[in-house]
Structure 1
């Protein structure tokens, strides 16, 4: 290809942080904002279902109890050291254009802001571009109407009616451009759907190496291979040994092509769910045999499923009102994650990070009134800490489209992108808060404290840095507006401190939908109200401590029902996450400016400018462009149109 004109975003500095949303006539908007009368059923997109369940019956509760923390050498049950970030996102490949943006020149500002909030706390964000749809994804030269992603709904497969997709290089350019603005790093999936019928489709790996470069974490070698036989992608007798052989074929192919030099040790495998027993999978020797190529051990699992109700599979119809109490039961969650204890120890033995590569509240989209309620946030935090305790190194919450309940964030429907903003769900708060729980040192260790007589509704965790306790996480998953189930935990620490700082995740009920607050701030009081930036007064509480009886300090902290409190035991810990670089948006119409991005932030994003990077800009696999501009870099917008733009010459080879 010769010289081409490609838009490059170079814009004036931010001068106004205000968000302006001009709504259309009222009757066009209230259709998706309306509440449900008793006895009625919501018929809109599941992502915006306002159905509230009744809070479950309250469980274990002790009004006052002690938490006695010891130096690390004598504290029971500490995990391995936890890397940062601990939690990220698995974004279904087929919804890439909804989430990331229309293409590489129209990147969604709310997405950038949401990632920036986490990156400020964790240093970077890890995102998987994949899922079921990666298996049948085919890179094409172009799609009808210039679409980045095109779906074939006439050929759906599997329980979730997954459509095959055709994608273009625009998708890879979009991922690269996001990383140029916010420190996001990516996993991409190599399709394994017809590995024996045709050569392995390595297009996405080749393109990712050329475009994403240093921000490429690795390649997933197939997705949930234990379901291949069940869903007709392989013969019914397909086994873990068969999969291991196919991974070997991939490794052999990569060893023969110089483009993979430096990337041959970045495979994610085996990404199994529940069809193959874990130990039988490890007994194949896949990790030992390919230990130089498999960098990350991966599994995928959801605690329940809503497939019978959503897809009519003939399976049991799960009733959310009967399940909400289960999601708030710490004992149940601890038992559920115990399934991975031996695998976690094996991963440590093999010196491999163990990743929960795809998860959320329930498969097939989650449950209304749980996945999108405060209960989902409390469950997610308890779940995340249990995974950490079981020696996982990372986990990814799955993101679907408009038809699921469990999204951490949901873009406005396509026909509303000119006037509506995003909707932020409870699991986004989980990822945000886990970044603060784990911190950025890479040395944090977690333990379950079995607090309050091991109550099932008021669990507590300690987080250690070095030899000293640094943070304590306190839960109350009961609901009692009267204050009758508020408890006080007296935290006894070995060090001498005069006070602790506390941040709280708050709502009025475990059944509440939207308007949760973290440290006094919300990412959306209702559907269609989020631009990715927090709103409200930032609140950190400072609570006094007194000398302990045997030395150290005693620090009482109360937790209402419901609520979550993160207690910082070391000076300055709570205030370390105050300012994230975010971008203003104004949704005003399809032909108006919608975003401005600070030029200096663009030029120095991720600690580099393009003169230093130089890896973007080639469409010839295995080669680098001589140009040193961002590949097809364009505007970041609220899914609408460009801000101030210049056109630059960019040579593509």
Structure 2
């Protein structure tokens, strides 16, 4: 495995932006009085909003219940399809990749590499979709002014969320390739669909050439059921029109010798305005079977669009908080797609949740950045897995977004602040360990505790054997009275299995003081800390509990705090997957005004990745585009002079 060399440089004052932004700087300082609230440019990670946890349910949850587990998968009804540990990945808005992934192909974000490595060490790989609203208005160009990798402009796009037109160079794809040379990341990209009379297939042509097997599919159209509402098509645009548009892309792919893979297109990527069945009823699947790599949808359970854009009705976040904190939350999202997951299995195609998070238009303050969102995402992901989805992508966007699992600091603070890792990111770690890296895991919802909505539980079978138990507690109760004990038995039940309860089990806990907590979150005793402190490496001593079982009674009792999540390892093989002997991390090799890693020469030689590029901040969904702070136009030249050896020319292979 390749590691960047270590080289630290002093901070360079002439590389910092001269612009000044006024923030409500929590926890760094009090709100400034120099800008009125209406004109404040406070970013989401400065927002001090903390919600009140929902009260303890009345009647209180049962705090003692039993679970009878079959020892082998063959005895289990309603078990899911086989699943991969990389089930829960990320969807990154195209327009912010230079903030989150890297400045260019040579300078990569160290915290991003470390975060992805921490997931990959348990899941085997990480799947990332680069796309979103901006992918339909993205154009691959040969070059951009000042050597930029990506550039956004407002050119009359009527999208209510102010999605810009996006120009990008092949440098973007070299950057993704260099990331995959360091961490086992696979990529989904999107073919633009805003102009079917002039299809732009460059991202597919160059993407296949640069990324090779690390490229796993192309999304065709992002939320086409919103095209009419957003002014991208006429008001009568329908599933049959999408069928025709998709057919044009299929024809273009089949006729393009520079796109060798013909069967990795992903559709229909609906937002929920159309039902999936309205697309299936056009004979979509049989018509395009030879071109499809997966079926996909996108879904947010709520939206904050009124607060951001004045669209729709206002939402009182405190009022909706409780609706996220029970087992029905994820089940209600998935219910409209259960028929489609069966259709996908019949067609032998994966079914994906291609973009999701707590709420569209940036999420909710105090909810999307709370520990409650981590429990919600964890349960929601496991419910998708149980319902025969094959994967899901947690969306990541700009700095004004509350639901981001990770976020770099503003550029004018990046010399002294690090990244912010929010509670919802921990759900990705937990899901990876729940499913493991064998690609054979199957999961079942145990309908635990008389199907109590606050105490869901899942059993996971790996290679046909009962391997793990996942237990959640949504209740916040500082008295400890709502901590529950789940007593389970393996085998010896109604199925007649032999006694299978082990002598002891290991348990990892995901914990916080309340569902409203934003900072004090731990996974097996370790944490990424609060705002502006993370380099992407989890910190602290790992804490794994050993629980002794009663083999004579064939029982084992595990406590789950309120709130919290417990992952119980039932076999030594399952635990060994979750306990790697080494962890790959990355260090900063050079310091601009944002910590980045240079890619070693050996990687550049084999991946053809290199460029000196300036970069531009800004985002979509929901942030306005006129970036808050822009790097100096001559930044790339200065970096090249200071750190050298970056003038190798590229040739597409």
Same fold (TM over 0.5): yes
Question: What residue number does 2:263 align with?
Answer: 265
- Cross-structure match for 2:280: 282
Is the alpha carbon distance of 1:644 and 1:142 closer, same or farther for their aligned partners in structure 2, counting shifts above 3 Å?
closer
Structure-2 change in CA distance of 1:165 and 1:588 (3 Å): closer
Residue 366 (structure 2) aligns with: 369
Classify the secondary structure of the residue corresponding to 2:196: coil
Aligned 8 A contact 1:194 1:233 in 2: no
| Alpha-carbon distance between aligned partners in 2 of 1:204 and 1:594, rounded to the nearest angstrom | 25
Structure-1 separation of matches of 2:194 and 2:183: 32
2:107/2:598 contact within 8 Å kept:
no
Provide Cα deviations, 1:350-382, integer angstroms capped at 9, x if missing partner.
Answer: 110000000000111111111100000000001
- Partner of 2:381, secondary structure, is helix
Pair 1:580 & 2:583 matched:
yes
Could you tell me how far apart the structure 2 residues matched to 1:94 and 1:594 are?
19
| Structure 1 position 122, deviation (Å) | 1.1
2:177–2:607 Cα contact (<8 Å) kept = no
| 1:20-63: CA deviation from partner (whole Å, max 9, x where unpaired) | 99999xx99993434779xx989610243221000012235111
CA offset digits 1:369-423 (Å, max 9, x no partner) = 1110000000000100110111000000000010110001111112222222111
Give the C-alpha shift of residue 278 in structure 1: 1.9
1:73 Cα offset (Å): 2.6
Note if contact 1:177-1:631 (Cα within 8 Å) is conserved in structure 2: yes
User: What residue in structure 2 maps to residue 631 of structure 1?
Assistant: 609
Deviation, 1:433, is 1.2
SS at match of 1:95: helix
Contact in 2 for aligned 1:448/1:462 (Cα 8 Å): yes
> C-alpha displacement at 1:548, in angstroms?
5.4
Asked whether the equivalents of residues 178 and 607 of structure 2 are also in contact (C-alpha less than 8 Å), the reply is no
Alpha carbons 1:297, 1:354 under 8 Å: kept: yes
Kindly indicate whether residue 94 of structure 2 is the aligned counterpart of residue 63 of structure 1. no
- Structure 1 position 545 matched with structure 2 position 549: yes
Does residue 1:255 correspond to 2:254, yes or no? yes
Distance 1:492 1:113, change over 3 A: same
Q: Tell me the residue number matched to 1:74.
A: 75
Structure 1: distance between partners of 2:113 and 2:217: 22
- Shift in CA distance, 295/596, structure 1 to aligned 2, threshold 3 Å: closer
8 Å contact 1:507–1:515 — kept in the other structure? Answer: yes
3-state secondary structure, aligned to 1:472: strand
Structure 1 residue matching 2:572: 3-state secondary structure: coil
Report the Cα distance in structure 2 between the residues aligned to 1:500 and 1:481, rounded to whole angstroms.
Answer: 26
User: Number of matched residues?
Assistant: 603
Superposition deviation, residue 279 in structure 1: 1.4
Q: 1:539 to 1:401 in 2, by over 3 A?
A: same
What is the CA–CA distance in structure 1 between the aligned matches of 2:102 and 2:546, rounded to whole Å?
41
Give the superposition deviation at 1:496. 3.8
Name the CA shift for 1:344/1:548 in 2 (closer, same or farther; >3 Å).
farther
Shift in CA distance, 417/587, structure 1 to aligned 2, threshold 3 Å? farther
Q: Secondary structure at the match of 2:207?
A: helix
Task: Give the match for residue 92 of structure 2.
Answer: 91
Secondary structure of 2:481's counterpart equals coil
> Shift of residue 222 of structure 1?
1.1
Q: Distance in 2 between matches of 1:414 and 1:569?
A: 46
Instruction: After superposition, give the CA deviation of every residue in 1:90-140 in whole Å (9 maximum; x if it has no partner).
Output: 000010111111111211111111111111111111111110001111222
More moved, 572-581 vs 285-294? 572-581
Return closer, same or farther for 1:596/1:588 CA change in 2, 3 Å cut-off: closer
Map 1:183-582; keep pairs closer than 5 Å.
183-196=184-197, 199-261=198-260, 263-313=261-311, 315-494=312-491, 495-523=500-528, 525-547=529-551, 549=553, 553-577=554-578, 578=580, 579-582=582-585
- Cα distance in 1 for residues equivalent to 2:173 and 2:510: 36
TM-score (normalizing by structure 1):
0.86
**1:33 matched to 2:27:** yes
For the Cα contact (< 8 Å) 2:11–2:415, is it kept in 1? no
Say whether 1:50 aligns with 2:48.
yes
Aligned to 1:163: 164
SS at match of 1:546: coil
CA shift, 1:574, in A, is: 3.0
Q: Retained in 2: the 8 A contact 1:502–1:574?
A: no
Q: Structure 1 stretches of 5 or more lacking a match? A: 1-8, 604-609, 611-616, 618-626
- After superposing the two structures, state which structure 1 stretch, 355-364 or 115-124, moved more: 115-124
What secondary structure sits across from 1:252 in the alignment? helix
Whole-Å separation in 1 of the counterparts to 2:90 and 2:650 = 33
Counterpart CA distance in 2 for 1:407 and 1:515 is 17
Please tell me whether the aligned partners of residues 23 and 41 of structure 2 are also in contact (alpha carbons under 8 angstroms).
no
Which region of structure 1 is more displaced relative to structure 2, 148-157 or 28-37? 28-37
Find the aligned partners of 1:404 and 1:562 in 2 and give their Cα distance. 25
Cα gap change, 1:35 to 1:74, in 2 (>3 Å): farther
Structure 2 unpaired stretches of 5+: 492-499, 616-630
CA RMSD of aligned residues (A): 3.0
CA-to-partner distance for each residue in 1:142-198, whole Å, 9 max, x for gaps?
3333322211135343232211111122211111111111111111100001113xx
Q: Aligned in 2, Cα 1:346/1:151: closer, same or farther, shift over 3 Å?
A: same
Asked if the contact 1:583–1:596 (Cα under 8 Å) also holds between the matched residues in 2, the reply is: no
Separation of aligned partners in 2, 1:137 and 1:589 = 28
SS at match of 1:566: strand
Summarize the Cα distance change of 1:587–1:28 in structure 2 as closer, same or farther, 3 Å threshold: farther
Q: 1:566 to 1:456 in 2, by over 3 A?
A: same
Q: Deviations over 1:533-561 (max 9, x none)?
A: 01111111111011254xxx311000111
Q: CA–CA distance in 2 between the matches of 1:408 and 1:11?
A: 25
Q: CA deviation at 1:632?
A: 1.7
**Residues 634/428 of structure 1: CA separation in 2 closer, same or farther (3 Å cut):** farther
Distance in structure 1 (CA, Å) of the matches to 2:221 and 2:75:
42
String of CA shifts for 1:408-446, please: whole Å, max 9, x gaps.
111111222222211112221111111111111111111
- Residue 331 of structure 1: how far off its partner (Å): 2.3
Show CA shifts across 1:592-634 (max 9, x none): x96588x7xx96xxxxxx7xxxxxx9xxxxxxxxx75542289
Q: How far apart are the structure 2 equivalents of 1:139 and 1:326?
A: 42
Q: Which has the higher mean CA deviation after the structures are superposed, 482-491 or 575-584?
A: 575-584
Structure 1 50/20 Cα, relative in aligned 2: closer, same or farther at 3 Å? farther
